[in-house]
Amino acid sequence: MSWDHSMVSRWESGDHRPPVEAVEAMDTALGAEGKLISLGFRAAVADSNRPRKSTVEAKASTRDEDDDVERRRLIRGAAAVAVSGAVAPVLAALTDAWQASEPRISGASVSQAMIDDWESAADIHARRAYVDPPAVVLAGLAADFADMAPHLSRDQPEPAQSDLAHAAARHAALIAGKWFDLGNHREAHRWWAKTRTLAERSGDVLLAAWLIGREAAYRRGDPDEDLADVLLVAQRARRLAGDRPSAPLVIALSAEAQTLATLGRHAEAITTLRQAEDTFDQLPFQPTGLESHWMYFDRSLIYTFAGDVKRAAEAQSAAKEFYPSKHHGAVKIALHNAALHARTDPEQGAQQALRLMETLPAGRRDIRIKAAARIVVDVTPEKAHALPAVRELRALTTNR
């Protein structure tokens, strides 16, 4: 796909915003690794906020419902532009019409159907987060959180307030994760703080344990994080989960085991992994979001760090049956396999990792994928660090 030079000139001058297809094409051509997509989305959201800023004084004494609806429509439109701009007006109009048609909970500004819909949306966003570029997932999350935000700032009767906070906390955690994947750690930490506040407001301690455990799992892959602090976050999630077998306890133990492995505390990591596996086996049913194959990723990561080739290879082989090739976990497990080879054949391991990275669209080479690729460099013997493939991989994985 190509665009006339006059149109490109208008984009450069700021007269017109390029469509998402053009942003994606430029991002790929320039090797921006998703940065242009992220900037395009943020610019669209900024545009949507301008009308709100111009009326902030007028709204100081009274909250105008029509203005709230218009602001949400603009933000939803900006989010849709980042994915497929043609549907933005229709999507906004239909969403508003559907919400208006639902009877409100007595004394609340929301309906039960709206809350249920946001809970379902969180499930959908979580599934798409494994296969779609972070900027695309973030766009959808922005649209839904923009719908919830005005209701979160109002006093709602119970249980509407706790149910609304529950759905919002799940969205906030996903937003934090996608900002992290895009390399914007300031925004990520802001939204993790929001997640903790909303989880507390929901009154669901197990939800808080689940989301804080997920936070630790994300932050473990950041080379700028203090892993000792991340370990404390995982341990806090474990305390919140308590001793009774539950999915949040599995998540907390998993995050703790991963962090211990990254710290080089391999024996402790393996012990904690086995505790997570034992806890999972005691669950009466398989919870949504914690499928049975979760253990293969943890085994692959922890045994790769520990240098246990047999157990790591077994986990990586078993994972192929469960993870689709485009799944985020499948890519990282394949990079763990490259790290296994790098211990004995650094050139082969580094080349394998480079090929995997090159097959990924630029927008999917996020921070956690780079962290998995960096394991290859970390386990490579020191004397092999001067090899061209190892040096190239190091440069690729440290490019923030």
Quick check: bond before 51 cis, omega within 30?
Answer: no
Q: Is 282 helix (H, G, I), strand (E, B) or coil?
A: coil
Q: What is the pLDDT of residue 179?
A: 94
Residue, of 7 and 55, whose pLDDT is higher: 7
Q: What percent of the chain has pLDDT over 90?
A: 54
Residues 369, 379: Cα–Cα separation, whole Å? 16
Residue predicted with more confidence, 201 or 89: 201
Contact 366, 130 (CB under 8 A): no
pLDDT reported for residue 234:
98
CA distance 190 to 180: 11
Task: Please say if the pLDDT value at position 218 is more than 80.
Answer: yes
For residue 301 the two structure tokens come to 């990561």
Residue 11: its pLDDT value, please? 62
Task: Enumerate the CATH 1.25.40 domain ranges in the chain, comma separated.
Answer: 205-290
pLDDT at 48: 45
Residues 303, 311: contact at Cβ < 8 Å? yes
Per-residue pLDDT tens over the stretch 122-158: 999 998 888 888 888 898 898 899 889 999 999 999 9
Give the per-residue pLDDT at 195. Answer: 98
Taking phi over 0 as left and psi of -120 to 50 as alpha, with beta for the rest, 242 belongs to: left
Question: Is 263's pLDDT higher than 70?
Answer: yes
CB 85, CB 40: distance < 8 Å: no
Q: Under a CB-based contact definition with an 8 Å cutoff, are residues 216 and 272 in contact?
A: no
User: What is the reported pTM?
Assistant: 0.77
The domain made up of 205-290 has a fold known as: 1.25.40
pLDDT of residue 22: 67
Polymer length of the chain: 400
How would residue 291 be classed by pLDDT, with cut points 50, 70 and 90? Answer: confident
Average pLDDT over residues 268-295: 87
For 268, the 3-state DSSP assignment is: helix
338-382 residue pLDDT tens: 999 999 999 999 999 999 998 888 878 888 899 899 999 989 998
Give which of 345, 369, 349 is closest to 357, Cα–Cα.
Answer: 369
DSSP per residue, 342-370 = HHH-HHHHHHHHHHHHHHS-GGG--HHHH
Asked whether the beta carbons of 218 and 170 are under 8 A apart, the reply is: no
Angle, vertex CA 10, rays to CA 9 and CA 16, nearest 5: 150
Alpha carbons 1 and 22: distance in angstroms, whole number? 8
Say what the pLDDT of residue 58 is.
40
| Residue 227 scores a pLDDT above 50 | yes
Euclidean distance between CA atoms 106 and 384, whole angstroms: 68
Compute CA 117 distance to the chain's CA centroid, rounded to the nearest angstrom: 20
* Average of per-residue pLDDT across 29-35: 65
Tokens encoding 305: 């760090």
Residue 299: name the closest of 273, 325, 271 by CA: 273
Q: Which pLDDT score is estimated for 40?
A: 62
The amino acid present at 305, given as its one-letter code, is: F
Who wins on pLDDT, 399 or 147? 147
* Predicted pLDDT at 2: 56
> Which of 254, 302, 260 is closest to 278 using CA atoms?
254
Q: What is the pLDDT of residue 51?
A: 44
Rounded alpha-carbon distances, angstroms, from residue 395 to 365, 373, 386: 14, 11, 12
Q: Is 330 helix (H, G, I), strand (E, B) or coil?
A: helix
pLDDT at 331 over 60: yes
Estimate the share of the chain in helix, then strand, then coil, as percent rounded to the nearest 5: 75, 0, 25
Residue 28's pLDDT is what? 67
Pull the structure tokens for residue 65: 């419902």
* Contact of 346 with 390, CB cutoff 8 Å: yes
Q: For the chain, how big is the Rg over CA atoms in Å?
A: 23
Closest CA to 138 of 39, 207, 19, 222: 39
Which pairs with CB-CB distance under 8 Å and at least 24 residues apart come from 49-58? 49/74, 49/75
Structural contact between residues 258 and 301, judged by C-beta atoms closer than 8 angstroms: yes
pLDDT single digits (tens) 48-73: 444 444 443 444 344 445 555 545 55
- Which tokens belong to 260? 């211990």
